[in-house]
Every structure is written in C-alpha cells, then in structure tokens.
Amino acid sequence: MTTDSTLTLRAALQAGAAVLAEAGILDAAVDAELLAAHVLELSRGGVQAAVVTGRDLNSQEAAAFDAAIARRAERVPLQHITGRAPFRHLELSVGPGVFVPRPETEILAQFAIDALAAVPSPRPLAVDLGTGSGAIAIALATEVPHARIVAVERSADAYRWAARNVARLTDGNLELRHGSFADALDDLNAQVSVVASNPPYVPADAIPRDPEVRLHDPREALYSGEDGLDDIRTISRVGLRLAHSGGMIVLEHGEWQGQGVRDILTSDGWVAAATHADLTHRDRVTTAVRP
C-alpha cells in the first residue's frame, strides 16, 4: 500500500481489502471499511458516502490506515484495533484482557431480557455470572430499566473493561462486583428472577480455529475442563441457590453441548430445560426454570 497524498479512499479500501483477504480475513472489505471509519472518525456509512463523493486521504490518514490494516492482517481482532465492539444497541469498549462479545450472544441476551421484562414485579433482579465486558448485564440494565442487575467478573483485566462500560452506559441500576461467581453473591440467595451467563465452554483439548480467538481472547474466558462444561456445572448449582421459585436460568454454550447442559440442569433440580437455536440454526442457548 502507499501513503501518496493523492490516494483516494476508494483505492485505499480496495488495496486494504486485498491485503486482508490475502491474510485470510473472510469479511475483508467490511473490515477495511470499519478500519477506515476508525481512522477517519466516521461511521461505516460515512466511509461509504465519502467513497461516492471521491474523498482523498492525506498522507497522515493513509499511513494510519496502512498501520491498522497491517495489524488486522496479523489477525489482531478488529475490535482490539478500534477499541469498540457492537452489541445489540450498545457500543462497548474492549481490548486485550477481555473476551470480545459475539453476535450470537445477542440471542442469549434476548431470552434474558424477555424473561426479566415479564416478571410481575416493580423491580425484578437479574444476575450476570462472568460478565466479561459487561455486554449481557448492560443490555439487561438498559433494555429493562426498571430492573436491578448485579454482574460479577473474576478476571481483574476484564473487570476493568466492564467497569468502564458500566460507568459510561448505565444509569445506576447495575451493580458490578469483582470476584468468583461461585461465591460472590451469597446476599442474593432466593431473590433472583433471571440468572444469565455466557461462560467458558471450550473443552481443554480443543484449539479454536481462528487466530483472533486462539491468540487474543483470554484463556480463562474460553476453556472449562475436559468437556467444556465445568463452569456450567458450577453456574447451575449457584443459579439454583440464587433463583427464587419460577426464576429462569439462561446459558450460552457450544452447538454440540445442548444435551449435556440440559442433563446438568435437570440433575441439579431445574425443570423445563430447553435448548434454542441461534440465527444460523445452531443450538446456542439453554433455558430452565427453578421449581
């Protein structure tokens, strides 16, 4: 790529997308536009409009775009370069040390939001166990504003990102705690209407295919024992303690783990365990109810 002062944005995007495609990035053109948006402080739509109007890049802008493309070609996650990750209506701050929220987790959030909104209480309580960036908890707090949300995160690095997002995006109805979800919420026993979690669920001997995941997501946010279900076993027991009668648990898991998750929940005493597909028709979320 070049830093010629007469380089057009269109040419820069085409060259950048070619570099990313060569590096194995599936959505190379999309990522190039998003990196240009970051460099130029525009929306993606603004970048597309600037291409139509024939905008040029000056040498400083071109150099910054080249640098961003080079980092992405090294398979640094796009969100680590831009510092932002979209989640539902939110734009979360993310970076090294925190799991980058995925679109499929929006399905989990929707089940939790619907369940919380349906609780016949003026101030229902939900918990997010292992909140990471705060994505699920903040979605609950902003989309069910009359509810009280408590989120817990054990990683100090992830907790700092969550605290930043909670301070910026919520309005006093979300409490963030630092600690293990196994024992951090004893004061909420039998009070919780919705227990939500996107826990680690990758088996210990499984190696994620994508370098962005394998090299940059925190290991403690990925792996959970030989079958990937150790944290879900803990969350099932903790959730049963926290939930009141009629309370719901909502768990994300791998597409092959639905039966195992239902078996864990049912053995622990949850009822009506059911697994739900995401938008790509892969089993992704399991729910159950405390009797």
Q: What's the pLDDT tens digit per position in 194-234? A: 999 999 988 887 777 777 777 777 878 778 889 999 999 99
For the cut 70, the answer to whether the pLDDT of residue 4 exceeds it is no
Are 155 and 260 in the same domain? Answer: yes
Range of the domain at 192: 97-289
Are 270 and 193 in the same domain? Answer: yes
Q: Any catalytic annotation for residue 65?
A: no
Q: Quick one: pLDDT at residue 208?
A: 74
Are 166 and 264 in the same domain? Answer: yes
- pLDDT tens track for 69-127: 999 999 999 999 999 999 999 999 999 999 999 999 999 999 999 999 999 999 999 99
Q: Quick one: pLDDT at residue 223?
A: 83
Q: Quick count: other Cβ atoms within 10 Å of Cβ 291?
A: 12
For the cut 50, the answer to whether the pLDDT of residue 36 exceeds it is yes
In the chain, the amino acid numbered 185 is L
Residue in 65, 87, 99, 111 annotated catalytic: 99
Classify residue 135: in a domain, yes or no: yes
The CATH number covering residue 132 comes to: 3.40.50.150
Are 225 and 274 in the same domain? Answer: yes
Classify residue 262: in a domain, yes or no: yes
Residue 150 vs residues 131, 166, 191, 206, 226: alpha-carbon distances, Å:
10, 11, 12, 32, 30
Q: Any catalytic annotation for residue 173?
A: no
**Where does the chain have alpha helices with state H?**
9-22, 28-40, 44-52, 59-73, 78-82, 105-117, 135-143, 156-169, 211-216, 230-242, 258-268
Count of the separate structural domains present in the chain: 2
Residue in 77, 101, 124, 199 annotated catalytic: 199
Classify residue 82: in a domain, yes or no: no
For the cut 80, the answer to whether the pLDDT of residue 173 exceeds it is yes
Are 113 and 67 in the same domain? Answer: no
Q: Any catalytic annotation for residue 198?
A: yes
Residue in 77, 111, 198, 200 annotated catalytic: 198
Are 103 and 55 in the same domain? Answer: no
Classify residue 102: in a domain, yes or no: yes
pLDDT over 70 for what percent of the chain? 98
For the cut 90, the answer to whether the pLDDT of residue 47 exceeds it is yes
Are 257 and 118 in the same domain? Answer: yes
Q: How confident is the model at residue 38 (pLDDT cuts 50, 70, 90)?
A: very high
For the cut 70, the answer to whether the pLDDT of residue 1 exceeds it is no
Are 68 and 152 in the same domain? Answer: no
Are 178 and 53 in the same domain? Answer: no
Q: Quick one: pLDDT at residue 231?
A: 95
